[in-house]
Amino acid sequence: MQQSEVINILKRDLNFAEDSIEKLKKFTELVLEENKNHNLISKSTESIIWERHVLDSAQLVKFINFNLVSLADLGSGAGFPGLVIDIFNKNKRFHVKLYEKSPVKRQFLSRVISNLGLKASVFGDIKDEFIDSDVIVCRAFKKLDQIIQVSREIIQKPHKLIILKGQNAQDELNKSLKFKKYPYKLENSITNKDSKIILMQID
């Protein structure tokens, strides 16, 4: 899927505004430039960054209530999906928080936020931070059982988990929910027919 195809989907199906598309273009340029020096994304995905990283992240906006107070992206890396969500967001009261343990990646995230005029905040390792967000998103962060454990132990309020997972999503769910059940839904990813999006409520 080429950049132009992805942009059409972002506008038509996900309601990304024109100014948000321009910011996404600048964001991808910054990622690719920084990737020459530091491994933000896999080199093999540089040529498909719009589909593999931008669209994969952007599809999550369908499942987020932007009238809530804040969203936390755990293990934000290069800013996928957190910065893509912040670029889409139009509610000034909705706050995106990026949690990333790598100082190099935190520095990059802060630079993108500054360059694009975004409102997201950057924090360190989740073990050292206080997290009180209404929505938690994860992409390539940890195994599902570890995410649920972190989510249950660190986030001190009811919240919604939105997790991008591969073809083993159902198997991971079965193992993770063996002893304690949480309500969940599985949604199909629009970037990969075998991948899933897990929507789970943690109370």
> Is residue 1 situated within a structural domain?
no
CATH of the domain at 164: 3.40.50.150
Task: Give a yes or no: residue 76 inside a domain.
Answer: yes
203 band by pLDDT with thresholds 50, 70 and 90? confident
**What distance in Å separates the CA atoms of residue 9 and residue 197, rounded to the nearest whole number?**
18
pLDDT per position as a tens digit, 124-161: 988 888 899 999 999 977 888 888 888 888 887 899 99
Q: Does residue 104 lie in a domain region?
A: yes
What pTM was estimated for this model as a whole? Answer: 0.95
pLDDT of residue 77: 95
Name the DSSP letter for residue 136. E
Q: Decide if 84 is inside a domain.
A: yes
Structural domains of the chain, count: 1
Q: Residue 106 has which token pair?
A: 């935190």
**Starting from the edge strand earliest in sequence, which strands make up the sheet with 70-74, in order?**
121-123, 95-99, 70-74, 135-139, 159-165, 196-202, 184-188
d(CA 82, CA 97): 8
Show the domain range for 134.
61-202
Q: Is 78 inside any structural domain? A: yes
Question: Mind listing the pLDDT tens digit for each residue in 44-71?
Answer: 999 999 999 999 999 999 999 999 999 9
**Does any domain span residue 40?**
no
Give the long-range contacts of residues 41-48, CB within 8 A, separation 24 or more: 41/77, 41/78, 41/80, 48/1
Per-residue CA distances from 171 to 10, 28, 39, 96, 144 (Å): 30, 33, 30, 30, 10
**Residue 126 region by backbone torsions, left for phi larger than 0, else alpha for psi between -120 and 50, else beta:** alpha
Strands 70-74, 95-99: parallel, antiparallel or unpaired by DSSP? Answer: parallel
pLDDT of the residue at 146: 87
| Domain assignment of residue 51, yes or no | no
Say what the pLDDT of residue 129 is. 85
For residue 147, the Cα-to-chain-centroid distance in whole angstroms is 14
- 26 assigned to some structural domain: no
Residue 176, pLDDT score: 87
pLDDT of residue 10: 98
